[in-house]
Structure 1
């Protein structure tokens, strides 16, 4: 896969960490960090940089490493460091309060190489005697180790989707599989998931079972029966994966059964009972004759009961069996005309404006908004007024160049901790599209958070509030936002609320998207893409919207360009 700017920056930062663990010269470590920071600040994409040494902060040594990485798609420097440094030390960087310097000290002075040896060194009193540590630090490390080793019963959907994609990639290589599908709560887009389920149809079950056991990520084999293989795979966490192996005739009914939910399946069984039928995982049994009916697709399965196809995201027995007796149009990928939240190399993105535009054109978008970070977010190389005006000139040139797409010149503007905005109203008026977002001071009171959000909502030139609750699923709770008040104010000011499609966010959640629509708010489904591959996250945003019963007309990036433009310009 072609490397982008983000990949190079990550490589340089990773090498710096390895050098730190190794106890290398601080100047050498600093050289890699300076080169990474210099690349982050540079507004060009990799394809526009002809000589890295012309960038202040990139020296001959780091330039050689970059060129090697780009030419060979891997780094010899990093590969050699990985051989020298125990892999277990890298995992310790996840522990709060332990950076590279401290871990290097533990490694070099106490021989700590992983979590177990660190725990032992804490328990026998060695750590607290080290310079710069002490008894309290040792106790904190033990507590952090204990919490880190506890795998939650349910894992965040972002982690599980990533793991499932690796399994899917492997299943696609098994030629004996006729078809397969994800099932279970992950297919229904639950925000936390216990394990992963796949349904596989094949004419060669023995061969498929054998191939499933050969998957390189397998850590443990739990079951290996004629119709079910269960394994534990090693990913970010250890994750259980169940494979159900059926015939092609049984596939649709089995997929429906194991997709669930339990409540939805109970509802379906009640419908079958009225008809004198029983549903099991392999088909429908007519009680009068014991005839077993199978179906070519789930769509045909639902049609048998006089229902339209019910998307997996809605199978919770919350009214879908009544609603889908008649045609229901729920939002889908074909409705999306563009993406209104993305970043480029001008701030912390991996690709240039031109590259993001061309990628958007290649997937058929009619419009996009370029929304790099604003000046307050220094860590993301945020843009000030001068740089945004300069970027707008580039966007204008591209709008003249391409007739098949329109590019809105936008910004993701920080809503500051004191309740002020990062730009004046006079400047915001110049922008085509303005996003307001909270990126700091998440622990403020509800009063403070709502004051900040209301400041943005009341500004006539702020069009959208991004990731409105600030949550990261399983990693960070939402800040103290009163959602009903936020939605009411958004409706009053005609400000759009975002469903951020990043699988780590899905913010708004399906629940709040449903409430927002019912109350009368407008929504947008955006990827917040920082690179090409994140454009594909739109699927997760759409599926979250489906789970929230969101209609196409509620979502502004399903509107035609002229209607959208008229809406954005209504206060100008």
Structure 2
């Protein structure tokens, strides 16, 4: 029961309290405790009731709840609330834009107790008739429900990765490393995974599938399995899983055909044949041999998307892709100055411990009051602390940055004098997200044209599987960044992965550098860097086109020259 799990359960409890109109004071005590845990940097694991009560915002009753959570994974009051709540309403609570109070109205006035019933009521126009809802709210609910439904059964790569690795290790133990290969979306490092697929080299299919049946973490679906294919799901996530059996002679062919995307396999390699049909035409001893015989340089699995890779492979011009080890620093991070969980010094020391040469701190700007955005006085205080830290930690360096909100009119969040005091600025949109493509593009371009913008942060604002990004004209945005020498962020948080990899190659063609940024709000957020690297690699990103692959000396000069250029 770490802080994240504790706050998740406390939030559910407070939502159910609102739903059942419990005592308002009691609800506030939960929200206060949640805020204190989120903003603090104290691990609650193993703390006694007395120790918990010493934390600001946690009183006796909440301390008792947390103690129960640590012992049992739940608490008595939550169980009581769940007992009088229709199970379907728990899923309704996840719908964006619907709070407990509105859900209570839907429940009591329309007897809605599930997502399915809510969709039917919206489609019948019943929700719009309720006081306080209206047609606009009803349409928003329909869109949210449709988005939820379209993403059902899909997972972030980062969520699936541990299970995939664990299954891979078990399979290698059973059948040998050379006889197992993972294919499909996971092999291509796709940001969203719908199923895991493996190919097993064997001439004894029945025996192999019987062994797979014994694995404890997965279960077979006999109805859709066949003598050639084992189909089922993982027990924990109910993620679809497939095992294909292939003979020794066809193993590489299957690997090629089941790893490449449809667009990759349909790409013509000459006037008569597609790549996929060539892969079917004969046996190969390895994937590299197959690409070579097709007249192509070897295409790494993550590039097999039918984007730009075939044209470059024909000319032997595929890029040497960025490696995580190429990164020299971590930019776009938050500390306790805004909504981070660890202090500036803790973030810096851990970054140094991981072997990086520099840290870019970029807490939220003042408009983001919901996230503890920094007023000008707080900016000055942080910059003074950075000066002290840089003397203490040298040659490691902390760069003073800010994640400036891009305001609705496209301006940044501080006067020029304050903007000029930072080493770099990440400009991002966090509010007024309901925009047309034209408005969002214009808003971003105005921020890009601001001479103080160094990096454009998470360009579409998307949250994968949770919220679609606002629509933008990617080409116009990238072209504007090229013209104004603005770097584009690949936000490495697995929920964002924004800039989308499909636009990385175009950015590089236009000479726009990319920056792999974790948007870390705590120390362990640094480990998201690897997912940003995966996204960059899918788009063909190289070390040379990555801002934070620069050494400390190089990026220090880069920031200094940019600031000096503004002053001129």
Q: TM-score range by the shorter chain?
A: 0.7 to 0.9
2:303 to 294, 299, 314: 314
Structure-2 residue corresponding to 1:224: 225
Q: Is the 8 A contact 1:45 1:352 kept in 2?
A: no
Distance 1:181 1:404 in 2: 44
Alignment of 1:288-327 (within 5 A): 293-295=284-286, 298-299=287-288, 302=291, 308-318=297-307, 320-321=309-310, 323-324=312-313, 325=316
Q: Is 1:436 the equivalent of 2:435?
A: no
Instruction: Tell me how far apart the structure 1 counterparts of residues 471 and 498 of structure 2 sit (CA, whole Å).
Output: 14
Query: Any unmatched runs of 5+ in structure 1?
Result: 286-291
Q: For residues 87 and 391 of structure 1, do their structure 2 counterparts lie closer, same or farther at Cα, with a shift above 3 Å needed? A: farther
Matching residue of 1:519: 510
1:35 to 33, 36, 40: 33
For 1:523-542, list aligned pairs within 5 A: 523-542=514-533
1:166 to 118, 143, 163: 163
Shift of 1:448: 4.8
Asked if the contact 1:425–1:459 (Cα under 8 Å) also holds between the matched residues in 2, the reply is: no
Considering only aligned residues, what root-mean-square deviation do their CA atoms show, in Å? 4.4
CA contact 1:350–1:531 (8 Å) conserved in 2: yes
1:339 aligns to 2:338 (yes or no): no
TM superposition shift of 1:436:
0.9
Summarize the alignment of residues 386-535 of structure 1 with structure 2, pairs less than 5 Å apart.
Answer: 386-403=377-394, 405-444=396-435, 448-450=439-441, 452-473=443-464, 475-479=466-470, 481-535=472-526
Q: Where does residue 91 of structure 1 map in the other structure?
A: 91
Cα distance per residue 1:168-203 (max 9 Å; x no partner):
434545642534554223433456666442335689
User: Whole-Å Cα distance in 1 between the matches of residues 369 and 436 of structure 2?
Assistant: 24
Unaligned runs of 5+ in 2: none
| SS of equivalent residue, structure 2 residue 333 | coil
1:289 corresponds in structure 2 to none
Matches within 5 A, 1:240-389: 240-246=240-246, 253-265=253-265, 279-280=279-280, 285=282, 293-295=284-286, 298-299=287-288, 302=291, 308-318=297-307, 320-321=309-310, 323-324=312-313, 325=316, 328-389=319-380
Structure 1 CA distance for aligned equivalents of residues 508 and 168 of structure 2: 38
Structure 1 residue 466 displacement after superposition: 0.4
1:80 is aligned to 79
Task: Give CA deviations for 1:372-423 in whole Å, capped at 9, x if unaligned.
Answer: 2112112222222222333334444443443574322221111111333211
- Deviation, 1:75, is 4.4
Displacement, 1:499? Answer: 1.7
> Post-superposition shift, 1:354?
3.8
- How many pairs were matched up? 550
Residues 425 and 228 (structure 1), Cα distance of their counterparts in 2 relative to 1, 3 Å cut: same
Answer yes or no: is the 8 Å Cα contact 1:45–1:345 preserved in 2: no
Q: 1:560 is matched with which residue? A: 551
Distance in 1 (CA, whole Å) between partners of 2:223 and 2:157 is 19
Once the 2 structures are TM-superposed, how far is the Cα of residue 229 of structure 1 from its aligned partner? 1.4
Matched residue of 2:402: which SS?
strand
